[in-house]
Structure formats: C-alpha cells, structure tokens
Amino acid sequence: MLEVNNINTFYGRIQALWDVCLKIEEGEIAALIGANGAGKSTLLNTISGVIHPTSGSITFLGQRIDGLPPHSIVELGISHIPEGRKLFTDMSVRENLEMGAYSSRVWKQKQETLEQVYQLFPVLKERAKQLARTLSGGEQQMVAMGRGLMSRPKLCIIDEPSNGLAPKLVTEVFEKIKSLREQGITILLIEQNVRHTLEIADHACVLENGRIALEGDCDELLKSDHIRKAYLGL
C-alpha cells in the first residue's frame, strides 16, 4: 500500500534519515520503534509531506507522493495524527473534528463520519461544545485520533498516542487502535511502549540513528535479542 524507497531527509545540513525503506501492506498495523531522536517522527513527516526528502521515493497505492504538499496527500487518503496531539486549542471539540474532514474528498460526508467517530469515542459527543484546550490529556488524545479519522483515511499514521497518558488510558488507546484495524484502516504506529505495540502490530521496523536497523513480523521481533535487550529491558 505504502512504499518508501531509500529516503534521505535533512534538517538544514543535518541528515535525519539515511536510505530508509519501508513497506506497508493493506489492512495491517505496522509499527515503527526506535529511541528518542531516531528519526521516527521525521519519517512520518516525510510521508505526510510536512518535510520533503532530498532523494528517494514514496509511493502510495501506486502513486508517487514525495514532493506533494501535505494537503494533497490528505486528499489521497493518508491521515497523520501528529506527535503531541496538536489540537486547535481555541476551537471546540466538534470544530476540531470537522477540521479533520476538511479535505474536499470527504467534506460533504462530514456529518456521517462525525457520527461514526462519536460511536468510537462516545465521550467526545458529550464534550462536543467544549474548547479543546480545556480537555484532559486523555480526552485530547481521543480528539486527535477522532480528527485523524474524520478524513476517512485509507492509511492512518499515529505518532506516540500514549505519551503522557495515565496507565488506564494507555490501555484504552491501544484497544481503539486495534478496533480501527478491524474497520479496515491500515495503520502505521509509532510508540515508545514497545511491548504493547509489538503485541498489537503485525509488522514492525526499528529505526536507529535515522537508519532502519531491523524489520520483520512482530512475533519474530519479540524474540529477537536486540529488541529484548534494547527495547524491552529483558
């Protein structure tokens, strides 16, 4: 579904990604793990067009998307739920969600989609009128995810959804992610919570210092020594 080939990305003169390759199959949960600063968010930003790679290619459903601006990439069906929630803090929950459906492809159906999102996160319906800024961390994360789903994505990219959440919410968030896959949405997930992630994902890549260090099916990776030592502390 998504194919990333030999991507190199720079911040100014500093190279953040080196020849990164990544393949995601339709309908799976792919995970991306790696230490802080490994370049995970950079890779996601490169995919969603926030930054452009200096070389390499990205294809989505057979179409080249590297070099397209973010808004065109959203139109194609990729939704990026950024690190740190990034809500429109002075807009209501409902308006935030509606913004998720901004792309012209789905704007007309936003009412229907909204109902679906409310089903997934019932608490958001109760809070529809509240300003995003005043929500608790967990609720904000739900708004962020709901907003990402409003564009009816084929591929949903989620960056560290459990960061800073209370343990109870972390469990809930992972449950929601699983249920998304059941609805047929392909997912690319970044998490520091490696065990939990590998448990729900099908396929994972390990990014170290901007390079892919390891990749494979999650069951195998869970057995790998490197993973167990570096990321699970066993």
Ligand X SMILES: Nc1ncnc2c1ncn2[C@@H]1O[C@H](COP(=O)(O)OP(=O)(O)OP(=O)(O)O)[C@@H](O)[C@H]1O
Write out the residues near another protein by the rule CB under 8 A.
35-37, 48-50, 69-71, 74-75, 79-80, 82, 86-91, 95, 98-100, 102-104, 107, 133-139, 147, 151, 160, 163-172, 192-196, 230-233
Contact between 197 and ligand X per CB under 6 A = no
Distance CA 207, CA 43 (A): 10
Residues lying near Mg ion in the complex (CB under 5 A)? 41, 83
Residue owning tokens 């792309």: 103
| CB of 234 vs another protein, minimal distance in Å | 9
Beta-carbon contacts of residue 25 (< 8 Å; ≥ 6 apart): 1, 186, 202, 203
**What are the phi and psi torsion angles at 109 (to 5°)?**
-95, 15
DSSP β-ladder status, 2-11 and 14-24: antiparallel
| CB of 164 vs Mg ion, minimal distance in Å | 7
Q: Quick check: 165 and 141 in contact, CB under 8 A?
A: yes
Select from ligand X, Mg ion, another protein, none the partner in contact with residue 130, using the beta carbon and a kind-dependent cut-off of 5 to 8 Å.
none
Select from Mg ion, another protein, ligand X, none the partner in contact with residue 122, using the beta carbon and a kind-dependent cut-off of 5 to 8 Å.
none
Q: Which of residues 3-32 bind ligand X (CB under 6 A)?
A: 11, 14, 16
Nearer to Mg ion, 43 or 101 (CB): 43
Figure out which of the listed residues 23, 37, 67, 122 binds ligand X, where binding follows CB under 6 A.
37
| One-letter identity of residue 154 | K
**What is the side-by-side order of every strand in the sheet holding 14-24?**
14-24, 2-11, 55-60, 63-64
Nearer to ligand X, 78 or 150 (CB): 78
